[in-house]
Amino acid sequence: MLSEVLSWGAKIQFITGDSWYSSTANLKTIRKHGIRFMFGIDCNRKVSP
């Protein structure tokens, strides 16, 4: 979905979401596009700064 929205020419600066969408693949894709983000994470996840 992110790739489609970016193809429309949208200039996204920040994305928020809940833990349902906070997979490693999603977060890496968002970061690859240089977009800042804030997502909830499940308590059983490991996070590196």
- In-domain check, residue 26: yes
- Length of the chain measured in residues: 49
pLDDT, the chain, mean: 90
- Reported as a single tens digit per residue, the pLDDT across 26-38 is 999 999 999 999 9
> What's the confidence (pLDDT) of residue 48?
66
Supply the DSSP symbol for 20: G
Domain count, the chain: 1
The parent domain of residue 14 ranges over: 2-39
Q: Is residue 14 part of a domain?
A: yes
Q: Where residue 8 falls among pLDDT bands split at 50, 70, 90?
A: very high
The answer as to whether 47 is a domain residue is no
Given a cut of 80, is residue 2 above it in pLDDT?
A: yes
Helix residue ranges per DSSP H, the chain? 2-7, 24-32
**CA nearest neighbour of 41 among 14, 23, 15:** 23
3-class DSSP state of 15: strand
